[in-house]
Structure 1
């Protein structure tokens, strides 16, 4: 049963450019412009009209955009919840400009071992993460540590929890890796690893959306009975100021926004594409977290109930629930 009939999240790609070369991502390989403040202001008004609650400023590396603080400030003033994920290479430089403007700030960290993390990211950024944690403590801010879980690093969760997140009173977000297109992310997580993640999700200051695990156990999205509501729950805007449908990772259509996002999103041609969400052949078996999470929130089914306890746990830890009312 559908309980929310409007998009709740905007994945706003401020640029595809990145100063890291992560092996499990291909976004950094794309040539890319940066979004403009003029386009952003036009789109912000329409996102409000469409009912969006959260704007995820993403990339690439979002801190490469020198006006990111302005986008965040205007989003906060308009009543949106803001979120940014960064590799921290630039966070020490821009921390003062970003202070108080990000509701959910995520620092990407995949290993407690400096060399291992740097190799996975293709750049030396481990020390910048530790520096950034100290800066946020001085600024009375509380980032999350976003740990992308692979079969080969799942046993490193304990050390990250004990050595980094618990001593600094940070939330550890466990992000099970997913495959898409031709990007090589290694073998799928085993049943043993999925069970281990469920155990970790119940520990103090650890967030794991249990519906992610349930969906993987079920074999992912089924195109004959799709759980994915990517296009109707999430609006994806590219650095070229285009609406991408039905999602970024499997996007098959792009539309120039040209100052008419709300009108475009409500048009018949876009509605026809939205009607195909989760039903395309490429959607079979999909478990992409960034679109499944909002999908779980807009329709009441078993995944909704699996996601609810962990979602409430995170909202209470971070206080973001207050901004939804």
Structure 2
């Protein structure tokens, strides 16, 4: 049987972060690490050769704290890879020029009203997000707004959607998951969330909401394909297995990503993905969103329809709107 290629290469370029988010604890790490740029550049080259036009998510921590980020993004783009960066925007305005044109999917985090967002993130960031949106648009960039939805801010979905609507941006909803001692979402929360989603340029994976409503992953009939769908590399260049949040093993990738990918140990984890004790009830969105692509069931179709909507909004509706706007300007 032909082996399935991963869809995503997740590179943790740094463990440093200025924010103190209530739903994340990566900022509490002692002695936070940064990636060696030469090693990660080599990983990008090898990933392109092994997996084709894989999607590369540059993450952290706060990825904009990582000084060589533009160099890695440039390397990825030149290799024909698709790039993604999610930022709290604290440094975006300072680094916007050097990042311009290098990020295919740029996401700005915004979780609610000014008071809530700044409190939730532990530092004042709300106004920075708004200023960063305006900076990005002046440069011709189209960031998405990403809202991490918790039980506390569900009713603020219309507020963030109104910001997205004002700037004609796509609004992405990221359901919070229980991991850092925080509370995840319940079936009732999901029902309430759906009631507040009205902005038509909203992307939310309804297969993920369905999973949450049903209590998350079942170890008896696992939905998780974390090992199959993505390769996760920590700042020290190690492949994390089975995933970042529950890493039991770490494989060195220096010199050969292929060796780690083809290893007996990785295959062992791939056969058992979603079946460990800590997998029961898991709803970590960054693993399930790509996992649905590897299924042949209703969840796969539901996820596919949501992705199709996103593609329509981004690659069809937006260009049409821009063309009409430019034509109207030409008539004035």
For the criterion TM > 0.5, the same-fold answer is yes
8 Å contact from structure 1 (residues 23, 184) kept in 2? no
Deviation at 1:313, TM superposition (A): 1.0
**Aligned partners of 1:222, 1:184: CA distance in 2, in Å?**
21
**Aligned partners of 2:259, 2:158: CA distance in 1, in Å?**
48
Between structures 1 and 2, the one with greater helix share: 2
**Aligned partners of 2:189, 2:91: CA distance in 1, in Å?**
33
- TM-score, structure 1 as length reference: 0.92
8 Å contact from structure 2 (residues 13, 63) kept in 1? yes
2:315 pairs with 1:313:
no
Deviation at 1:42, TM superposition (A): 1.5
Deviation at 1:185, TM superposition (A): 2.1
2:125 pairs with 1:125:
yes
Q: In angstroms, what is the RMSD of aligned CA positions? A: 1.8
* Correspondence for 2:134: 134
What is the total number of aligned residue pairs between the two structures?
314
Structure 1 or 2, whichever has the larger Rg, is 2
Deviation at 1:138, TM superposition (A): 0.5
8 Å contact from structure 2 (residues 20, 123) kept in 1? yes
**Secondary structure in 2 matching 1:6:** coil
For residues 237-256 of structure 1, what are the structure 2 equivalents within 5 Å?
237-256=233-252
* Correspondence for 2:61: 60
**Secondary structure in 2 matching 1:82:** strand
Q: After alignment, is 263-272 or 236-245 more displaced? A: 263-272
Q: Deviations over 1:289-323 (max 9, x none)?
A: 00001101122222111111111111222239xxx
Provide structure 1 residue ranges, at least 5 long, that are not aligned to the other structure.
Answer: 321-325
Deviation at 1:277, TM superposition (A): 0.8
For residues 277-292 of structure 1, what are the structure 2 equivalents within 5 Å?
277-292=273-288
Q: Deviations over 1:182-225 (max 9, x none)?
A: x1223x43434312433555641101000111101221111111
* Correspondence for 2:212: 216
Deviation at 1:32, TM superposition (A): 2.1
Q: Deviations over 1:243-281 (max 9, x none)?
A: 101110111111121221112111112211221110111
* Correspondence for 2:326: none
Looking at both structures, which has the greater relative contact order when contacts are Cα pairs under 8 Å and sequence separation is at least 6?
1
Provide structure 2 residue ranges, at least 5 long, that are not aligned to the other structure.
Answer: 317-332
